[in-house]
Structure 1
């Protein structure tokens, strides 16, 4: 997998219109369940490119995201049963409700970030709507879901590793042995 991007100064290191695979400090990725729509640590499907978008109507390539600027994360794969591979979004779940895949633009998560470190590498601490809470595990399980809780200082940090957004050119990142 590509190394995570690093923030510098007021910039988070991520860019609007670019795609990233998200991972935790232990290297496990943010994935999605097979039979449900919730995102979780080391979900059944991983290697999901998430596009950083300015809004649900603007995913154009552009400048680096700065601290305090809002962005949303568009899932470039879609759900596995969807023959059209409809793109969706990480939703705005809070207070223990699990973050899920959604195509409902009224429930898209709106995030801000702070550059930090996780597992000795660059990462972002994400905060989100409606109250600026930190991205955190929803419950104490081996493959926990994610939610936004009120305390902005307590949360999980994510590493953003840039990949291409073209689903046919996403580099292998799972350690697949081709021999």
Structure 2
């Protein structure tokens, strides 16, 4: 039998414990699907409620490991579970992690676009009444500068970037 739109050879759809469609294919460190049965990177659990400090620390660990796709999941959880006035911050950080993911996969246009969009969102949040320059120790000015520089480098180089080597330092230089 041929492959279905869900990617399974047996025609069945992957479902989670509540019956929702959920792709169970293993993934590599950049979130790309691998063939069923391949060894992949453990998935980041979804829907985890963390403190903002835990979100920043866990996302930084994942970025340092070269797993920006997984860091994006942490930021997305913070965006969805956090207070309304911080959602734009976490959404912007998630966009930056996805931008790095695309840049590492070699998607020059998408990577640069998401890096700039995320930088703009973070900058807008920081300049809004709800924003602050260093929420939870995050160096927002440094993050924005990193994203814009990387976007330019991605476009100029046209090659995949090293996700680990080009990871942002959320709280500034180590």
Task: Give the TM-score normalised by the residue count of structure 2.
Answer: 0.25
Q: Which one has a bigger Cα radius of gyration?
A: 2
The structure with the greater share of residues assigned to helix is 2
The structure with the greater share of residues assigned to strand is 1
Structure of greater relative contact order (alpha carbons < 8 Å, 6+ residues apart):
1
Task: Give the TM-score normalised by the residue count of structure 1.
Answer: 0.24
